[in-house]
Chains A and B, each alone.
Chain A
Amino acid sequence: MRQLFCLLSCLLLITAQCVLAGDQQRSLQDLSSDRTWLKLLHYEPKGFAQNRLESAIISPEFFLSPTGDQDPLAELIATINALQSAIPHEGDTHAICRFPARALWLKAQMGNELTLMTDIPCPQLDKWTRSNSVSSISVIFATGYLGNPASYYGHTLLKFNFKDEHSQGSLMDVSLNYGAIVDGNDDPATYILKGIFGGYDGGFSHINFYFHNHNYGENELRDMWEYQLALPQTAVDLITAHAWEVLGKRYTYYFFRRNCAFRMAEILDVVDGLNIVPERRPWTIPQSLIQNLAKSDFKSSPLLADIEYHPSRQSRLYNKYQKLSASEQTLFKRLALKEDDLTDRSFTHSPLATQQRVLDTMLDYYQFVRDLESGADDPANLAHRQALAIRYQLPPGIPTSGVAQPVSPHSGRSPSWFQLGLVQNSDLTNSLSVRVRPAYYDALDADHAHIKRAGLSMGDLRLHISDSGIRLRQLDIISISSVSPGLTGLPGDTAGAWNLKLGAEPLRLDCRHCLVPRVQADRGYGYRLNYNLFAAAYIGAALQENRLQEGHGFARLSARLDLDVDSLWNAQLQVEHRVPEPGRISAYNTVRFEARRRLGNSQDLRISYERNRGEELSIAVGWYW
């Protein structure tokens, strides 16, 4: 009987252990398929049927299991074993130092089932987190810059904020940046192609915020917006720990979708309840991400805690200039143009506040226009030094503080546009027009996140649908219209302008099938006639397919006039005088007029008239999405 009892007990014990083991294994299986675990390892659907997972991180050292890049369960088991390893490690090589976010999350999920080696020192991790004292996290948005294709749509960074005894100021906070790892030897065309099609590895790097603040604000003249997130400390700790995990690891960089904004949002999305990666898009535009942040809640509270504006040198110059009185502006310009001198009575006998304001504006102006590396060869460097020397001699103080804060990009409209309208052509049938512009803006709808009076669009597709069928009216693969504000009008701050367009356009409007591939470019200058009226003139040329005897291209003189009627209506008139290559058709003129009425933040109405040997009139409604 005793033997039977023992046998039964042993059988029960064995059975119980099997059941427990089975439960634990099921539990590990559940953990390995948990959203957070998949996010921490950056698993993505792969394969033709999207039925297998593979990590977006391609660095082998990110995984503890040999199959960890494709097997969440194997990686989970390997991680648990490594976290519980008592084997001494040098430096920050123990798993708890390398993968603190995994440790945090697994401990929260497994409780006492997981024994963490809490006495393992992690000196580098402690140094980076300043002994785990990150108090909040901000998303930094640098506005777009038309001087470099990679920067057209802006850029996003993460900033880890410290406070109290761990803070030396916001400029010393840690920033995290994702970008392509470029060896610097590629020509522009290779750079663009590799960036689009995954020819570069991508990765995160970290540096004190002042570096990016200076780079964007002083060198690239781009404003930055800081969006501080309202997250509990546990979420801040998890995101910070995960940022540490991915530092130095490599991804494949893709410019359109899996770019800086996408990867940065992934770091935030490890927190359960956050889902800010713009979905259902083949692209990720940084401004869309910011707009998602602004609309998002976290545990029933708004995700955004605070917004701070970091103006560029150019914005600070324009702000100071606009705050000068009329007489101060006159004095500033006379000094900048060397019509007056800083030793003249016109300056020295001005009130102290005037001297300080004018000098501060001069310092911004010279800093904006000078070439530092030219030293004494650039007169602006001497002028800057002289203004700075006088500023040191004046009593300290800033008479007019603060920069007027423009409307934040997060409150702008969505970046993509769909338009539906009616078209009447003088020689052809009337049509229904359909237009899709995935990104981004033109001179009439440029708003807070964009460059005023400029334009940037990619993949702008226009179709005309009539009884004759569907016809491609125009395709702008890329179209850029850049205009410098030129607010002061002083040397170095004039409204230089340039255009670049690649796509297919109709040769003329009185033919049905005369679309030609065309590349065109212009260079010119603009002038603010008054606050509401802007004019520009260009000289340029185009290369195209030779059809209908119109030759391989033309030179042109063109002009534009932009009118802001009020807060709802604006319009643009463009005229061109085209001179085809010799021996072809005679020179001819084209005219294009377009008026836009804003209908809220997500719609607009446009009326346009165009003449190019034929005429076209259209009215259309657009939706931003």
Chain B
Amino acid sequence: MKIKFLAAATVIACVSVSAPALAQNKAPGSGPNPFVDCGIGAALFPNTGWAAVTSNVIWDIGTTAVTSATMSPETCSGKNLAAALFINDTYENLAEETAKGEGEHLTTLLNILECDSARHPAAITSARASLSGQVSAEGFEAKSHTEKASGLFNAMDQAVSGSCQA
């Protein structure tokens, strides 16, 4: 894609999710959607200015893009948040790799959602079916990035829920 300001990424980058997700009591793949409930992708883009897109500029490490006012901390933390942030930043690669049935981003997302590697093929098959319906819908290209990312999250969440439980 053509060069564009990384306003969203600048904001999202503030949230450090470098550690594996905290253990949750819920089964893999269940839970609300962080895009809907935690403000990810909302219009929180700061005025970064043209210089902010350069790689020599560090990202603001003092702020957060996540609000959890409406939902429980479980929704806006842990693996769901990590997965949502990953989807938000790498949506294009995820959508394409899911269509192809394989790829590094796809595998990583399933790992974030704690799907055992032996169950990845089943989860991918389920996700492909769901996303195929989304992408084929008329007007999909007009949807916002957040809407698309949220849709992918739901597809993955359901796929993991249905295919990755022990």
Q: Is the CB of B47 within 8 A of A184?
A: yes
Is B24 positioned at the interface, with any CB of A under 8 Å from its CB?
no
Most chain A CB within 10 A, of B12, B55, B96, B101, is at B55
Q: Is the CB of A177 within 8 A of B3?
A: no
Measured between beta carbons, the chain A residues less than 8 angstroms from B111 are: 168-169, 172
Measured between beta carbons, the chain A residues less than 8 angstroms from B59 are: 177, 205, 207
Given A147-B3, A259-B56, are A168 and B61 also a contact pair (CB < 8 Å)?
A: no
Q: Is the CB of B132 within 8 A of A373?
A: no
Is B25 positioned at the interface, with any CB of A under 8 Å from its CB?
no
Interface of B is mostly: helix
- How far is B96's CA from A368's CA once the two chains are assembled, in angstroms? 13
Most chain A CB within 10 A, of B18, B53, B102, is at B18
Out of B96, B108, B141, which one reaches A381, CB within 8 Å?
B141
Given A206-B16, A219-B1, are A169 and B55 also a contact pair (CB < 8 Å)?
A: no
Q: Is the CB of B1 within 8 A of A184?
A: no
**Nearest opposing residue in chain B for A212, CB measure:** B55
Chain B nearest Cβ from A461, distance in angstroms = 26
Out of B17, B102, B139, which one reaches A376, CB within 8 Å?
B139
Out of A150, A169, A367, A391, which one reaches B1, CB within 8 Å?
A367
- How far is B114's CA from A613's CA once the two chains are assembled, in angstroms? 73
Is A6 positioned at the interface, with any CB of B under 8 Å from its CB?
no
Cβ contacts B1-24/A at 8 Å (1 or 0 each) = 111101001001100111110000
Q: Is the CB of B52 within 8 A of A215?
A: no
Out of A128, A182, A255, which one reaches B51, CB within 8 Å?
A182
Is B58 positioned at the interface, with any CB of A under 8 Å from its CB?
yes
Measured between beta carbons, the chain A residues less than 8 angstroms from B102 are: 396-398
Out of A179, A214, A371, A375, which one reaches B55, CB within 8 Å?
A179
Interface size (B, Cβ < 8 Å)?
Answer: 59
Q: Is the CB of A385 within 8 A of B140?
A: yes
Q: Is the CB of A371 within 8 A of B51?
A: no
Out of A130, A145, A205, A218, which one reaches B20, CB within 8 Å?
A130
Measured between beta carbons, the chain B residues less than 8 angstroms from A127 are: 18-19
Out of A218, A375, A392, which one reaches B93, CB within 8 Å?
A218
Q: Is the CB of A182 within 8 A of B104?
A: no
Q: Is the CB of B55 within 8 A of A215?
A: yes
Is A586 positioned at the interface, with any CB of B under 8 Å from its CB?
no
Q: Which of B45-73 contact A (CB under 8 A)?
A: 46-59, 61
Most chain B CB within 10 A, of A128, A219, A247, is at A219
Is A388 positioned at the interface, with any CB of B under 8 Å from its CB?
yes
Q: Which residues of B contact A (CB under 8 A)?
A: 1-4, 6, 9, 12-13, 16-20, 46-59, 61, 86, 89-90, 92-93, 95-96, 98-102, 104-105, 107-108, 111-112, 124, 128, 131-132, 135-136, 139-145
Q: Which residues of A contact B (CB under 8 A)?
A: 127-128, 130, 142, 145, 147-148, 150-151, 155, 166, 168-172, 174, 177-186, 188, 191, 195, 202-208, 210-212, 214-216, 218-221, 247-248, 255, 259-260, 313, 356, 360, 363, 367-373, 375-376, 381-382, 384-385, 388-389, 391-393, 395-398
The 7 A-B pairs with the shortest beta carbon distances in the complex, nearest first, are A396-B101, A184-B49, A392-B132, A169-B108, A168-B111, A391-B99, A205-B58
